[in-house]
Amino acid sequence: MAGMTALGFDIASANAAPPELGAGGKGKKVIVLGAGVAGMTSAYELSKAGYEVTVIEARAFAGGRCQTARKGFKLTELGGETQECDFDDGLYINHGPWRIPYHHRSTLHYTKLFNVPLEMFVNDNDASYVAMTKGTGPLAGKAIRKGQIAADARGSAAEILAKQVKQGALDQQMTADDREKFLAYLTHEGYLTADLAYKGTDGRGYDVNPGPGMVPGPGKESTPYPLTDVLHSNAWRTLTSVAGYEQQRTMFQPVGGMDQVAKGFERHVGQLIRYSTLVKKYRQNEKGVEVTVSGPDGKVETLSADYCICTIPLSVLRQMDMGVSPKFKAAIGAVSYALVGKIGLQMKTRFWEEKHFIYGGHVYTDNPEINTITVPSTGYQSQKGVLLGYYNFGASAAKVSALSPKARQELAAQGGQVAFPEYAQNVETSFSAAWHRIEHNLGGWAEWSEEGRRDAYPILCEPDGRLYLAGEHLSYLTGWQAGGIESAWQQIAKLHKRAQAA
Amino acid sequence: MAGMTALGFDIASANAAPPELGAGGKGKKVIVLGAGVAGMTSAYELSKAGYEVTVIEARAFAGGRCQTARKGFKLTELGGETQECDFDDGLYINHGPWRIPYHHRSTLHYTKLFNVPLEMFVNDNDASYVAMTKGTGPLAGKAIRKGQIAADARGSAAEILAKQVKQGALDQQMTADDREKFLAYLTHEGYLTADLAYKGTDGRGYDVNPGPGMVPGPGKESTPYPLTDVLHSNAWRTLTSVAGYEQQRTMFQPVGGMDQVAKGFERHVGQLIRYSTLVKKYRQNEKGVEVTVSGPDGKVETLSADYCICTIPLSVLRQMDMGVSPKFKAAIGAVSYALVGKIGLQMKTRFWEEKHFIYGGHVYTDNPEINTITVPSTGYQSQKGVLLGYYNFGASAAKVSALSPKARQELAAQGGQVAFPEYAQNVETSFSAAWHRIEHNLGGWAEWSEEGRRDAYPILCEPDGRLYLAGEHLSYLTGWQAGGIESAWQQIAKLHKRAQAA
């Protein structure tokens, strides 16, 4: 039980609320590198505890990857042309983080504290389409509603299993009482008839919707797809008994764009941030740290402090002049970063709502350059909308990101035709981001190998001299804002304990 | 194909948009009885087509059952004391209709037309609890997350079925290719290991959540419940392969309360409504109709028109002085109305969010007096909230509705303890409604028997003389606003066709 408590309740709550640092930071200086979510978390909590905090930020704005592209937002990828977002007023795309699972209590701690209003992000919508072109049979290449596939696959499986039970296949392994309840469960799950057959359910939709009067009156239920067609379609690849941990409902998005989280932090720590300032060199000794920076005017100066918290992505940090131990330096180089591309497409009409009745959620394709198309979880029933036209990874992201913004738009516009006939003709403009080509990030998030987690990760989780690393890369919630926040919480707690003892 | 078109596309689109009446109503008068959603739909569309429309409404406000209780809202049930809602400013309960499925295109037609902003209604939340007390075994009486039950029931079933397939049980009925794909589907659905075992999934939650650094680091996954415990718990009664047609995601609610739909209509037809006016008598002949009413001052007068559309619930209409054919009168009496009770509980804190991480959705119980508890899909992370404390039906609704408002609150407060230890101590105030005890409604919605649908319903769907009935009761979407709207659309189309021919 002592072990349980140590591993369980204590730590679980440490993920939910910042460490209580008290007020003992007075007279001590901390330099924070990076004004992303991890950096601003560190700055907020440390300055609250009395530390004198300076945040160095390469960009002219805070938030790190927590960005939202709206009219006027500019991005120049490495080796690429400059895009200036020209969406209509009020429209945006979260090209970085875009959703907050209900169990990311650390992120939700700050949205609550900073009064950032939230709305539901639709992460699972049975009415949305699965459009698999690489299957075979009559359903291949068709846009099928996910709920129809779910009803038919699970209904058919329930029928097969129920009949097995009835025929005695489980007599050896289950009691009669359990078998009876198991049959009741299967019948309920699969909407089986009294003779244990799956003949469809109203939940898979109607050919004629029920309505008023005598016609359509009760309407006409649809006919299930045969199991063999479902199996050959590949559409079942979207079905799981319950969504994976990080993908579970409920999920949120901040009203108006994910950068509202960054702006929430900025309202509290903005005065501590030196924007458009680059880190040139980091040195430390037993007495303190020195960070040489060049400001927006090119002026180089060296700042000193007692400690440093560095939230710069390892993909970038590995190229910097860091006076750290060889072991630490090697560990910094031991992780790869995700190749990730996203595109926001401004659409003239919300045809996915008006013609297809899909309000939020993902359209699944098996084209790796598109992967998923996600229609917006905001602005329902308004005139226009920005949807996520692709979310690609790895080799596909590398390939697509090598295209010009215009060619990416064309690729996304064509890719969406697999689901919606109205798609390409509705595209007005786009904004795309390939995180592996973005300066100061060079990747979407840390992707640890098993060896990296074993060898390099533990080294980076401990301070090197007076340098503490923090960020999503120093967590098991890589790619999530919660990883950055909780990593910062853990590191500042360690720093504080040491500073108090000093 | 002609049949398909007649039954399919034409009619399907007739559910999505109002009939195009043109402008031929000029010079003709219609009296509409009832300013609920069906009545106001009729008034809006008919007056747009040139008809001179008068709406008679018994209440001092429009909307019918489309009501929202907020501070100051008063309700006196038949034989009961008067409740005045004293929720804090900004809090409310939709004690009538409360959700709009994505496929209710008719309701969504008007929310769009009248610029009623919508937000997601969380109708399915895997993080929410199932709390069944009437099961047996170790899970009985415990509040279990629905997603855990889903993962374990479906994972175990997938394991059993996959092993059957592997052992050749389906060799006769499935090709080798199909069996291979079926195994792949079952493995994916159930998160089975390579040896086809279900050993849990991160989707059922962690005992220690993954986080930063080394501790908690990867966290500790939870252990599945044994299938026999799941089966005996009764919690599986909440699981279906896909939600039923009327309960499917996505669902909406109007921002600020369902009465925003009524107010949307009222902005356009309010000037046609005579409020606080009771229908005393209805008479018709071959030339027209006469409706005798008494106004707010008690003054009785007789209005005449060419036609009448009556949207008064049959539960009320059957007691009125209606000069209609005996056959029609008998049919009016042939339907029963749902006994339905709801209570809104204002809670001091949003403990379901703060302590249990449940944001929207239903808590399922097997106490029929409580049935479901629904936490709000709005105001996330704010201080207080109003949740739905019970939603009971039939005999349970009759029993609970016989209690005083205070006793209902006490019953609801105790009922919620099954799921949340913080429940009762957080209750501040309540507002309850039992629709079968509410004047001008006398029931939640029409509940047609098979015989009623066969014998009485067709009679009421046709006009009796110059009287056309409309409302949710004249549809197969009983209990939904869409039923009322689509019924009105169908009836005014018939009326218009006849008026044009006259």
Pairing of strands A273-274, A52-56: parallel
Mean pLDDT across B106-127:
97
Q: Is the pLDDT of residue B68 over 80?
A: yes
Rounded to an integer, what distance in angstroms lies between the CA atom of residue A387 and that of residue A383?
Answer: 13
Q: Provide the 10 A C-beta neighbour count for residue A454.
A: 10
The answer to whether the Cβ–Cβ distance between B206 and A476 falls below 8 Å is no
Structure tokens at B318: 């059957």
* Smallest Cα distance from B102 to chain A, Å: 6
Q: Which pLDDT belongs to residue A228?
A: 98
Pairing of strands A361-365, A372-375: antiparallel
With contact defined as beta carbons under 8 Å apart, do B94 and B112 qualify? no
Nearest CA to B62 among B261, B291, B343?
B261
pLDDT band of A15, cuts 50, 70, 90: confident
Q: Is the pLDDT of residue B15 over 90?
A: no
Upstream peptide bond of B429 is cis (omega within 30 degrees of 0): no
Q: Is the pLDDT of residue A171 over 90?
A: yes
Residue A50, sorted as left (phi over 0), alpha (psi -120 to 50) or beta, turns out to be: left
Q: Which pLDDT belongs to residue A8?
A: 34
* Smallest Cα distance from B331 to chain A, Å: 14
pLDDT band of A252, cuts 50, 70, 90: very high
The answer to whether the Cβ–Cβ distance between A11 and B211 falls below 8 Å is yes
Side-chain-facing half-sphere of A492: CA atoms under 13 Å: 36
* Smallest Cα distance from B304 to chain A, Å: 27
Mean pLDDT across B82-90:
98
Q: Which residue stretches of B237-344 are H helix?
A: 259-269, 314-317, 326-332
Q: Where are the beta strands (DSSP E) in B231-358?
A: 251-254, 273-274, 278-284, 289-294, 300-305, 307-310, 336-337, 340-347
Q: Is the pLDDT of residue A295 over 80?
A: yes
Whole-angstrom Cα Rg for chain A: 26
* Interface test with chain B among A9, A112, A149, A185, by most B beta carbons within 10 Å: A185
- A52-105: per-residue pLDDT in tens? 999 999 999 999 999 999 999 999 999 999 999 999 999 999 999 999 999 999
The answer to whether the Cβ–Cβ distance between B178 and A213 falls below 8 Å is no
- B356-392: per-residue pLDDT in tens? 999 999 999 999 999 999 999 999 999 999 999 999 9
Query: pTM for the whole thing?
Result: 0.96
Nearest CA to A153 among A242, A243, A235?
A235
Nearest CA to B124 among B37, B241, B258?
B241
pLDDT band of A10, cuts 50, 70, 90: very low
Upstream peptide bond of B224 is cis (omega within 30 degrees of 0): no
Q: Which residue's structure tokens are 């009287």?
A: B467
Rounded to an integer, what distance in angstroms lies between the CA atom of residue A157 and that of residue A145?
Answer: 19
pLDDT band of A14, cuts 50, 70, 90: low
* Smallest Cα distance from B313 to chain A, Å: 15
Upstream peptide bond of B216 is cis (omega within 30 degrees of 0): yes
Rounded to an integer, what distance in angstroms lies between the CA atom of residue B472 and that of residue B490?
Answer: 12
Q: Is the pLDDT of residue A5 over 80?
A: no
Q: What percent of chain A has pLDDT over 70?
A: 97
| Secondary structure (3-state) at B453 | helix
Q: Is B228 exposed, middle or buried (0-12, 13-18, 19+ CB in 10 A)?
A: middle
pLDDT band of A283, cuts 50, 70, 90: very high
Q: What percent of chain B has pLDDT over 90?
A: 96
- A209-228: per-residue pLDDT in tens? 999 999 999 999 999 999 99
Rounded alpha-carbon distances, angstroms, from residue B473 to B312, B479, B485: 10, 8, 11
Q: Which residue's structure tokens are 């959620």?
A: A361
Structure tokens at A171: 């007599």
Mean pLDDT across A286-304:
97
Q: Which pLDDT belongs to residue A131?
A: 97
The answer to whether the Cβ–Cβ distance between A185 and B157 falls below 8 Å is yes
Question: C-alpha angle with apex B310: B307 to B316, nearest 5 degrees?
Answer: 150
Residues of A in contact with B212 (CB under 8 A): 461, 474-477, 483, 486-487, 489-491
Question: DSSP secondary structure string, B169-230?
Answer: TTTTTS-HHHHHHHHHHHHHHHT--TTS-----GGG-EEE---BTTTTTT-EEPPPPPHHHH
Q: Is the pLDDT of residue B105 over 60?
A: yes
- A365-396: per-residue pLDDT in tens? 999 999 999 999 999 999 999 999 999 999 99
Q: Which pLDDT belongs to residue A2?
A: 35
Q: Is the pLDDT of residue B222 over 90?
A: yes
| Secondary structure (3-state) at A302 | strand
The answer to whether the Cβ–Cβ distance between B213 and A490 falls below 8 Å is yes
- B200-214: per-residue pLDDT in tens? 999 999 999 999 999
* Interface test with chain A among B9, B15, B118, B209, by most A beta carbons within 10 Å: B209
The answer to whether the Cβ–Cβ distance between B126 and A248 falls below 8 Å is yes
Q: Is B301 exposed, middle or buried (0-12, 13-18, 19+ CB in 10 A)?
A: exposed
Pairing of strands A446-447, A336-337: antiparallel
Rounded to an integer, what distance in angstroms lies between the CA atom of residue A320 and that of residue A138?
Answer: 55
Mean pLDDT across A240-247:
95
- The residue in chain A having the minimum alpha-carbon distance to the alpha carbon of residue B378 is A119
pLDDT band of A502, cuts 50, 70, 90: confident
Whole-angstrom Cα Rg for chain B: 26
The answer to whether the Cβ–Cβ distance between A242 and B15 falls below 8 Å is no
pLDDT band of A16, cuts 50, 70, 90: confident
Q: Is the pLDDT of residue B27 over 50?
A: yes
- The residue in chain B having the minimum alpha-carbon distance to the alpha carbon of residue A178 is B228
Nearest CA to A458 among A318, A309, A337, A334?
A334
The answer to whether the Cβ–Cβ distance between B474 and A127 falls below 8 Å is no
Q: Which pLDDT belongs to residue B502?
A: 85
Q: Which residue's structure tokens are 């409020």?
A: B275
What is the average pLDDT score of chain A? Answer: 96
Q: Is the pLDDT of residue A350 over 70?
A: yes
- Nearest CB neighbour to B204, from listed A216, A242, A457: A242
Which helix (H) or strand (E) element contains residue B439?
none
Q: Is the pLDDT of residue B231 over 50?
A: yes
Q: Which pLDDT belongs to residue B432?
A: 98
Positive/negative CA dihedral, B180, B184, B189, B191: positive
With contact defined as beta carbons under 8 Å apart, do B413 and B389 qualify? yes
